[in-house]
Structure formats: structure tokens, C-alpha cells
A and B are shown apart, each in its own frame.
Chain A
Amino acid sequence: MTDELLMEAVKNGDLQQTSALFERYNKRIFNFLARLTMDRALAEDLTQNVFLRIIKYRNSYREGARFQSWIYQVARNVFSDHYQVHKNKFSDFVDVEKVSDSLYDPEESETMDEQEKILQRSMAKLSEEQRELLILTRFQHMKYEEVATIMDTTVANIKVKVHRAILKLREHYFELEKI
């Protein structure tokens, strides 16, 4: 059964079907939020919120709309709502020092190579928007068309922004590498 059909069933009152959608999407959404917030515990909480909203706002799901785009839009909203409340007004940069603590557990950190560690710290230095774009296109391998739908903009716009984000990432990466 397609994601869309499952969601339509939920919309029609069969809430149990949300379980199937959870199976299919929880890891993706968790990854998206974890890399975006760079805080795993927080990401789990926010992921819960996403699925809660899927259920509570099931009536706002438009039949025929692509489910994946919708759930990611919900995830972005959950993230944005959280940061409306908790945002550090002076910067939307993550505290780089804390990154390795809250994103990777000790076991993972050991197996992770040096490159990946530097990458994570570089990601932390990007703006939220740039980080988000890279997560969607480069970590989650989403097509530009879909990202454009999720972020409600054009493909051309996404392309340009993703390129700029990669270039910025490279800058931070090789600065950090020198250290």
C-alpha cells in the first residue's frame, strides 16, 4: 500500500495505519532532525511531535499530495516551532563544541573516521537553512524537485543554494582540518 493510501486511511479514521507510516519514515525523519538540531535526544522528541501532528492534523493532508513532501513539511514546522521558543537570538549557529557529545555516542565516535568528525563540526558552522538543504539533498538524497516542493520554492533556487552551501561547507571543513 502506498504512503498516500495509508495516509488517506488515517484521514478517514483508521489511526492504526499511522503505525505503518511510522515504520517507513521514523528513521528518515529522525536523521533529518538529528542532523539539523545536532542533538539526538531532542531529535527523538521532535520526531514524536511530527507523528503526533500527522495524527492530529490528518484532516489537513490533501488527498493525492505526495506524502513524503508533506511529512517533511510537518518536520520542518516542528523544528521551526521548537526554535521559535528556544532560539538563541544572537545566532542560529550550533555550539560546535557540544556537537560531538550530543550527536554521536562514544561507540559511534570511535568507528567514525576523522573525516566524518570534521564534517559534522563543519555542518554545525553552517546556517540552519544551508544545513537543512545539505541534509535533504546530500544526506537523504532527495531530488531537487521534491526539496523545492517541501521548501515551497523553485528548483533553480534550490540548485543555487545547495551549491553555495557545499562551497561554504568546504571552507569550514578545510579551515578545521588545518587545526
Chain B
Amino acid sequence: MNRETLEMLLIDYIDGKLTPEEKLQVEQELVNNKDAYILYEQLKEVIHTMERSAKLEPTVKLKSSFDKLLEEEIQSTKKPKVIFFQPAFYRVAAAIALIVLGGGIGYWISKYQQQQQELADIRKEVQATKNMMMTMLDNHHSASQRVLGATVALKMERPDDEIIHVLANAMNEDSNTNVRLAALDALSKFNKEQSVRKLLIASLTTQKDPIVQIALIRILVEIRAQGAVKELQRITNDEESLKEVKDEAHAGILKLS
């Protein structure tokens, strides 16, 4: 029996884990092989010494430290996080601020939901149009009908004046910033149209909402509307414009030059 096999078997033998056949094998080896027997005795000593090794006792400090630790942890979870303002005036102010903030958030959430509804409605309409278009293009229809469908599709590539008008209005007049941004986004898709480009540049003069101003400037740069440069320069000099808007305008001028 080779040494490695013997070593593994001996440990299991000492632990009493061998099958009767394996046990016999090992015992034969122990009888015939002196080295095997020595190894066996040594392993037995080591294993038994481990078996009867004393359990170590911790000091009393361990328990007392633990008790202290537990107490601290319990206390720290009990104490609520109190933000304490002195004097009373500030506490009242903080309370009012919280109420206003809470109310304000509620307002914006409902506005957002309203917009989402509007957007959803718009999407439904667009989808309906598209569906109509696609039905017309369907192979089941006659050739002339397919031609018609294709023409409609082509027409959709270029925007409807009515659509542009509505979008431009929304971009310039709507009281809600997000609606304006959405309108701007839609219009910018039609930027190949001269009329649309003119509209976008013109919008720069009337926009007062900095978020929309910045978005508009970025789009004008993207579509390389050189005609906007004059207006951008005006903005950089305009006292009423916000710094961020002026910076954006300035960058825009550099990019368009």
C-alpha cells in the first residue's frame, strides 16, 4: 500500500470510519509494516491529544464588556434622530418649511402626472396615425392603395404645418416648463425644415425660462443654426439672463463660429 493511501486510511481508521474490508486492509498493513505502525501510533497520539484538549475559559471581562455593548446598542436604537433648533423661533420656521415643502412636492407630482397623461394621449394619437399608415401600406391592399399609403407616409416625414404651429405655441406659451421642453424636443426633430429653424431661433428672443433657454441653445448648436448667433450674442449681454444661460450662449457662439 502506498504511503499516501495509508496516511488517509489511518486517520479514518482511528476515527472509526472505515468499512470492515478497509479495516482489515489497514490492520494487515500495520502488522506487516513497522513504519506503518509507527505512523499509526503517532497519528493516534496527535488525534487524541486534540480530542481531549481543554476548553479555554474567557475572563469575566468578556461578559461585562458585552453587557455594556448591548446596552449601548439598545440605547442608540431607541433615541430618535431629533433635530433640535434653538430658539423656538427656528423650530417653528423649520416646521413651516416642512409643510410648504411637502405641499410643494404634492403640487409638482400632480402636475407631472397630468403631463404624463397628456403625453400618453399624444402618443396614442400618433400611434393611431402610424397604424393607419401601416395598414394602408399593407400588401393585402391594391397597388393604388399602397401608393396612397406611401404618399401619406412621405408626407409624415415632413411635418404638418398645423402640428408645427401647435408645437411652437406650446414651446413659447405653455406655462409648464416640461411641456415646453417636450414641444421643443418634438420641433427639433423637424429641424431640417427652414420654417422650423426660424421658429427655434425666434423662440430665443421670447424664452425667459432658463431651463428651456439652455435646451434651446444646445439644440440650435446641434443643428448648426448659424442664424442664431446674433441672438446668442444678445443673450450674453443681457443683464436679465442667468449666468448659466449666458455661459451656454457663449459656448454656443464659439461652436457655431
Contact = CB atoms under 8 A, between A and B. Distances in A.
A44 B58 contact: yes
Contacts of A174: 42
Contact of A55 (B42, B58, B65, B70): B70
Interface residues of B, number: 30
B50 interface: yes
Contacts of B49: 115-116, 119
Interface string A2-28: 000000000001011011001000110
Interface in B51-108: 51, 53-59, 61-63, 65-67, 69-70, 73-74, 77
Contact of B56 (A18, A31, A173): A31
Given A40-B56, A119-B49, A119-B53, A26 B62 contact: yes
Contacts of B47: 138, 166
A112 B49 CA distance: 11
Contacts, number: 88
Interface residues on A, range: 35 or more
A108 interface: yes
Interface of A: 13, 15-16, 18-19, 22, 26-27, 30-31, 34-35, 40, 43-44, 47-48, 51-52, 55-56, 103, 108, 112, 115-116, 119, 122, 134, 138-139, 163, 166-167, 169-170, 173-174
Interface of B: 7-8, 11, 39, 42-43, 45-47, 49-51, 53-59, 61-63, 65-67, 69-70, 73-74, 77
Contact of B66 (A16, A48, A138): A48
